[in-house]
Amino acid sequence: MIVPEAVVHNFTYPVTCISIIANAALIFIILTTPNTHVGNYRYLLMAFSIVDICISIVHFVVVPALTMTEFGFIFIGFRFIGQSTAVGVCTNLLFVALFYQTFVLLAFHYVYRYVLLCNPKGLRWIGADHPWRNWIAIAVVMDILYIGGYMVAVSIGFIPSDNARAAFESTLLESYNIDLSASNKPGYLGIVYKVLQEDGTYKWSFQALTSLFLIILLFFGSGFVIVFCTLKMWKEMKRTNSIVANRTRLMQMQLFRALLIQTIVPTVTSYVPLGLVFVVPLFGISIGGWATVSMMSTALFPLIDPFLAVFLISGYRARLPKFLRKSTTSTINVSPQTISTQLSRS
C-alpha cells in the first residue's frame, strides 16, 4: 500500500504556497508592530518564520517520500530520483539539515526566554556585555553542534551502500516503481537495522544502531532543554506574579503560552510521526509506502506556525485587521481606470 506520487505532489504545491504567504505576512506584521510589544524576542519569531519558509521551499523542491520495511526505512526525493547518487544524497541531506533546524531553534527559544525571565546566575554574562554578540555566538555554536551531530549520525548509517541498495530494491520498485539499480544509481538516505543472512535470519547492524542512538540522543537532548526551561520559567512566573505589573505579567503569559503551543504542534505533526518511522522497524513491523504520510505531515507545521504566532500574541492579533485592510485596499486601487491611465501614458 502506498500514497500515490501524484497525491504527494498535489499536496505539496498548495501547502508550500500558503506557508510562504502566511510566514511572509507574519514577518511584515512583526516589522510594522511597535518594538515595545515583545522586544527583541520578535527577531526570534522572524527567524522561525524564515526557517519555516525555507523548509516549505525544500519540501517543494525535493518532494520527499518514505518507504518502511520490517528491517529499516528509505528516504527519497521524487524530483531527484533521476539524478546521480551524489545529487540525490546532497538534496536529501539539505532537507534533513533544514528540518532539524526547527529542533535547535525551538530549544534556543526556550533558552532565550529562560535566561531573560529567570536570570540564572551562571548565565548572567550573556546579557552583561555585548548581549547581541553573545546570543548570536550561542545560536551559531548550538546550530553547528546540533546539525553537525545529525550529519554525523546520517553519515554513519544512512549513506547509500551496495548492501542497502540491494535490501531496498524490491520494496521501492513495488511501492513507487523506482529502480535503485538503474544506471544513474539514484541517491537516497536509508537505514538497515537488520541485515538478512544466507540462512534467512536477520542480524542486527551495529553501525545502524549506533546511528539511531546518536539521533535519539540529539532528539532527547533538545527535549531535555525544553522541559528544563519550561519548568524553570513556570516556577519563576508563579513566584513573580504578585510583584510585576499586570501588563508585563500578561505579556509573559502570552509568550509562554505561544511557545508551548508552538512546541505541541510540531510534536504532533512532525516529531511523533517521524519518531515512529525510526522506531517501528525495530519491532519488525512494515507499513511500506504509507510512511510517506509522516513526511507529508511534517509540511504542515511551517504552514500552521505563523497563524499560531498571530493569534496567540495580542499585539500581532490586533495588527492583523489593519494588514488585511491595507492588502485589500492595495488590490482594489488597481482598477481598470488606473490601468487604462497607465497604458495611455506609456
C-alpha 293/C-alpha 305 separation (Å) is 20
Q: Which three cell numbers stand for residue 141?
A: 555554536
Residue-wise pLDDT for 99-148, tens only, equals 888 889 999 999 998 998 888 988 888 888 888 899 999 999 999 999 99
C-alpha 256/C-alpha 238 separation (Å) is 12
Residue whose C-alpha cell is 505563523 = 306
The pLDDT mean for the chain works out to 86
45, 55, 166: which is closest to 108 by C-alpha? 45
Query: What is the reported pLDDT for 326?
Result: 66
120 CB neighbour count, 10 Å cutoff: 12
φ, ψ of residue 78 to 5 degrees: the values are -55, -40
Q: Helices marked H in the chain — which ranges?
A: 5-32, 41-62, 85-99, 101-118, 125-128, 131-157, 162-176, 206-240, 246-266, 272-279, 292-298, 300-312, 314-333, 336-345
Query: What is the reported pLDDT for 243?
Result: 56
339 CB neighbour count, 10 Å cutoff: 10
Q: Which of 156-170, 236-250, 303-317 has the lowest mean pLDDT?
A: 236-250
Q: Which three cell numbers stand for residue 114?
A: 529562560
* Stated pTM of the model: 0.84
Long-range contact pairs involving 200-207 (C-beta distance under 8 Å, separation at least 24): 202/71, 205/157, 207/156, 207/157
pLDDT band at residue 182 using 50, 70 and 90 as cut-offs:
very high
Residue-wise pLDDT for 13-32, tens only, equals 999 999 999 999 999 988 88
Report the sign of the C-alpha dihedral through residues 323, 325, 327, 330, in that order: negative
C-alpha 64/C-alpha 8 separation (Å) is 8
pLDDT band at residue 320 using 50, 70 and 90 as cut-offs:
confident
C-alpha 139/C-alpha 123 separation (Å) is 14
In the chain, the domains with their CATH numbers are: 5-345 (1.20.1070.10)
Q: What is the mean pLDDT of residues 235-240?
A: 81
C-alpha 115/C-alpha 195 separation (Å) is 47
90, 59, 223: which is closest to 158 by C-alpha? 90
Residues linked to residue 74 through DSSP beta bridges, in sequence order: 67, 190
Residue-wise pLDDT for 30-61, tens only, equals 888 876 667 778 888 899 899 999 999 999 99
pLDDT of 337 strictly over 60? no
Query: What is the reported pLDDT for 212?
Result: 95
pLDDT of 323 strictly over 80? no
Query: Who's near 296: CB < 8 A, 6+ residues apart?
Result: 3, 8, 11, 12
C-alpha 146/C-alpha 152 separation (Å) is 10
